[in-house]
């Protein structure tokens, strides 16, 4: 009778754990998930739109900082890019550059001059009183180029800011997926410990009535100690991820924070059509990256900025004009007169023109160097994207193998071992090993899913494409 009770306890525990496991799977197999991959590779969105701090402040999420019970991936991303002090500082510089550009459209300040001429030594007589007003006029086109130079610098700062934001967002994604994996490992560990407790009770009961072996009790106890130590390590690793997310987002993320993983649609990931890239589509990804990657934009903007500087260096060799209008009072001759003068600088003088030649050569060298750097960067991007796509294709097969082959096989093995133990055809240790194999397969499955998700994040970063719809 006691044996049937033990069988019932073990069976009930297995069913409970299997139900929990299935529920865990169901939680991540969301039909309405927004995490979908675009096989047509149409332009969905160029990375996440980085909100201004003010617009972010107006969201409900911002108002619940420190109080929010659930964080989505997008909320973590928004928090990171809107609270990063370096990004905020760069945005301030970008805003200031607008005013600087407008300031370049104005002429230099005019100058007023007052002159007393032919003054006697005893100051009894002043021969002439002069009033002058002058205005310097840069050579046509110089002011426009100066304004363009400021705007070019602004464009480069914007692309540099976006590059920094992309790096931050990529780190957020990596930690988010690490957290996804750790949470599943901890859940699997909890399932294992629940079962081991049942195994220990069953083994002790069998041993007490002389039907079991003390070795079964000892092995179950050793397994429990191993799982408890593993649980400690996993939770410590999760704390480290929480700490990293807190550092990146500038908001508190800890054990009391719930992270929403509904965006991770494992059912869609297992679908054969979720990610298939042929040679033509791979080429489209590369071409898209050449246009939308922020570091590519930065190099393009640098070339444009130096081309503007080159034009400025060339036009600096042309003279500026200084117009002066005067009024002269001649007290002793009892008459007045007007005076008009025009002056030009001589930038092409042999002893001064060398600095302009140097500036021209310097900008020409910088343009060539940046163009070469851009060409090398494109080659790197081409290889990077191709490698990522190949890795994703391999990972996809690995992930589907665990999901479609390994998990069902180990689950069937576990059920078979359970039946054998219940019918006295198998040992308790065989049942324990079979269940451990099943749980290890679950872990390997989640590890392959996590690696695949990280590769998606790397592809998003490599292309400048947000693979969501």
Q: Model confidence over 21-32: pLDDT tens digits?
A: 434 333 322 332
The whole-number pLDDT of residue 64 equals 42
Q: What's the angle, vertex CA 129, arms to CA 128 and CA 135, rounded to 5?
A: 125
The whole-number pLDDT of residue 113 equals 85
Task: Note the pLDDT tens digit of each residue in 17-62.
Answer: 455 443 433 332 233 223 333 322 222 233 223 333 333 333 333 3
Provide the mean pLDDT of the chain. Answer: 76
What's this model's pTM, rounded to 2 decimal places? 0.74
The whole-number pLDDT of residue 123 equals 56
The whole-number pLDDT of residue 369 equals 92
d(CA 467, CA 46): 9
Q: HSE on the CB side for 264, CA within 13 Å?
A: 27
Quickly list H helices, 316-406. Answer: 354-401
Strands 335-344 vs 258-259: parallel, antiparallel or unpaired: unpaired
Domain boundaries, the chain: 2-106+138-317+353-463
| pLDDT for 419 beyond 70 | yes
The whole-number pLDDT of residue 8 equals 53
| pLDDT for 276 beyond 50 | yes
- Of residues 387 and 99, which shows the higher confidence score? 387
The tokens describing 186, both together, are 């901890």
User: What does the DSSP assignment read for 181-205?
Assistant: HHHHHHHHHHHHHHHHHHHHHHHHH
Q: Which residue has the tokens 């998930």?
A: 33
Counting DSSP H helices and E strands in the chain, the numbers are 13, 6
- Which residue, 454, 461, 378, 373, is CA-closest to 165? 461
Task: Note the pLDDT tens digit of each residue in 377-410.
Answer: 999 999 999 999 888 888 888 888 898 899 899 9
d(CA 38, CA 138): 54
The whole-number pLDDT of residue 13 equals 54
- Of residues 103 and 154, which shows the higher confidence score? 154
- Which residue, 264, 295, 282, 254, is CA-closest to 454? 264
| pLDDT for 251 beyond 70 | yes
d(CA 220, CA 205): 13
- Which residue, 192, 390, 160, is CA-closest to 294? 160
Task: Note the pLDDT tens digit of each residue in 141-155.
Answer: 888 888 888 888 888
As a whole-number percent, the residues of the chain with pLDDT over 90 amount to: 17
The whole-number pLDDT of residue 451 equals 92
pLDDT band at 67 (very low <50, low <70, confident <90, very high): very low
| pLDDT for 340 beyond 90 | no
CATH superfamily of domain region 2-106+138-317+353-463: Outer membrane efflux proteins (OEP) (1.20.1600.10)
First to last CA, the chain: 58
Helices 354-401 & 279-292 angle (0-180, nearest 10) = 140
The tokens describing 267, both together, are 């059912």
What average pLDDT does range 283-287 have in this prediction?
86
| pLDDT for 180 beyond 60 | yes
The whole-number pLDDT of residue 127 equals 67
Q: Which residue has the tokens 């001649």?
A: 330
List Cα–Cα distances, 235 to 120, 230, 357, 454, in angstroms: 96, 9, 65, 21
d(CA 181, CA 165): 25
pLDDT band at 208 (very low <50, low <70, confident <90, very high): low
Taking the C-alpha atoms of 82, 87, 88 and 94 in order, what is their torsion angle to the nearest 10 degrees? Answer: -130
List Cα–Cα distances, 227 to 233, 314, 323, in angstroms: 10, 74, 89
- Which residue, 438, 437, 435, 441, is CA-closest to 10? 435
Task: Note the pLDDT tens digit of each residue in 71-91.
Answer: 888 888 888 888 888 888 888
The whole-number pLDDT of residue 60 equals 37
Q: For residues 296 and 381, is the Cβ–Cβ distance under 8 A?
A: yes
Question: Hey, is 413 helix, strand or coil?
Answer: helix
What average pLDDT does range 224-242 have in this prediction?
92
User: What does the DSSP assignment read for 13-62?
Assistant: HHHHHHHHHHHHHHHH--TT-S----TT-----SS-----HHHHHTSHHH
- Which residue, 67, 87, 89, is CA-closest to 77? 87
| pLDDT for 373 beyond 90 | yes
List Cα–Cα distances, 340 to 39, 112, 131, 328, in angstroms: 73, 14, 11, 11
The whole-number pLDDT of residue 313 equals 84
Burial label, 184 (beta-carbon count in 10 A; 0-12, 13-18, 19+): buried
Strands 321-330 vs 70-71: parallel, antiparallel or unpaired: unpaired
């Amino acid at each position: 009778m006691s044996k049937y009770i033990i069988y019932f306890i073990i069976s009930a525990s297995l069913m409970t754990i299997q139900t929990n496991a299935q529920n865990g799977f169901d939680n991540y197999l969301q039909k309405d998930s927004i995490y979908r991959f675009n096989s047509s590779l149409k332009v969905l969105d160029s990375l996440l739109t980085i909100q201004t701090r003010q617009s972010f402040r107006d969201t409900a999420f911002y108002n619940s900082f420190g109080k929010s019970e659930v964080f989505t991936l997008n909320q973590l991303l928004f928090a990171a890019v809107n609270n990063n002090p370096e990004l905020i500082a760069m945005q301030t510089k970008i805003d200031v550059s607008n005013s600087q550009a407008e300031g370049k459209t104005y002429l230099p300040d005019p100058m007023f001059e007052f002159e007393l001429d032919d003054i006697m030594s005893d100051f009894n007589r002043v021969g002439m009183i002069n009033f002058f007003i002058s205005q310097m006029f840069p050579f046509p086109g110089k002011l426009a180029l100066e304004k363009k130079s400021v705007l070019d610098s602004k464009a480069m700062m914007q692309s540099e800011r976006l590059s920094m934001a992309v790096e931050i967002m990529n780190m957020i994604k990596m930690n988010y997926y690490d957290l996804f994996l750790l949470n599943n490992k901890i859940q699997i560990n909890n399932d294992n410990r629940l079962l081991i407790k049942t195994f220990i009770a069953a083994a002790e009961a069998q041993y007490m009535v002389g039907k079991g072996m003390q070795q079964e009790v000892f092995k179950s106890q050793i397994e429990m100690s191993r799982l408890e130590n593993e649980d400690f390590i996993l939770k410590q690793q999760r704390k480290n991820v929480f700490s990293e997310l807190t550092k990146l987002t500038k908001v508190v993320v800890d054990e009391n924070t719930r992270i929403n993983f509904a965006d991770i649609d494992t059912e869609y990931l297992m679908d054969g059509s979720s990610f298939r890239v042929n040679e033509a589509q791979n080429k489209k990804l590369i071409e898209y990256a050449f246009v939308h990657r922020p570091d590519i934009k930065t190099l393009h903007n640098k070339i444009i900025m130096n081309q503007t500087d080159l034009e400025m260096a060339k036009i600096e060799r042309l003279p500026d004009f200084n117009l002066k209008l005067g009024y002269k009072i001649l007290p002793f001759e009892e008459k007045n007169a007007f005076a008009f003068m025009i002056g030009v600088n001589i930038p092409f003088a042999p002893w001064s023109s060398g600095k302009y030649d140097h500036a021209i050569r310097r900008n020409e060298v910088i343009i060539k160097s940046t163009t070469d750097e851009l060409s090398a960067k494109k080659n790197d991007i081409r290889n990077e994207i191709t490698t990522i796509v190949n890795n994703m294709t391999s990972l996809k097969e690995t992930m589907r193998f665990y999901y479609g082959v390994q998990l069902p096989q180990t689950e069937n093995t576990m059920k078979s071992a359970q039946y054998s133990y219940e019918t006295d055809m198998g040992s308790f240790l065989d049942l324990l090993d079979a269940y451990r194999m099943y749980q290890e397969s679950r872990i390997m499955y989640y590890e392959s899913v996590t690696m695949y998700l990280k590769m998606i994040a790397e592809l998003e970063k490599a292309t400048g494409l947000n693979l969501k719809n």
